[in-house]
Amino acid sequence: MEKGNHELATFAGGCFWCMVKPFDEQPGIVSVVSGYTGGTTENPTYEQVCSETTGHYEAVQITYNPEIFPYEKLLELYWQQIDPTDPGGQFYDRGQSYQTAIFYHNEEQRQLAEESKQKLADSGVFTKPIVTQILPAKTFYPAETYHQDYYKKNPERYNAYQIGSGRKAFIRNHWGEKE
């Protein structure tokens, strides 16, 4: 596969641990990196981002081949991982760093994100307004090594977090059984 066939997608969906697995093993996905974006501090640490002083979101940056897994499919999968109606964070993770956002890398991504947001709003899946922001991509800083592929390195803690945070039940209630 040529490097030119790869594009970036960046999504904030609350705890980045929970945003890796759904994308990680899909066809056409080259990599999924947990990190921080949208803020003003250069090379922020996890502790700085959690302090809510940097303006960063916890996010994942996905390198993908759009010929195999188009951006529209990434958006569809993204919406099914979050509560897009919660302006204060995601599940029991509260604060700006856990808010949802789609960071677009070009005009086409912006348009597709806006269209998918409107389609979700019109679908009736949620009764409250969709508050997920669509923002221009900013510098993405990979998170510390121990955060990368958390679901593979710590499967028991990952599963306990998915259940304990309410994320797993929310996804099941809105989208059916997913794994």
Residues with catalytic roles: 15
Give the span between the Cα atoms of 57 and 35, in whole angstroms: 8
The structure tokens 């940056």 sit at 61
Per-residue tokens: 102: 């789609």
Residues in the chain: 179
Per-residue tokens: 100: 């949802």
Neighbour tally for 124: CB within 10 Å = 7
Cβ atoms of residues 116 and 76 within 8 Å: yes
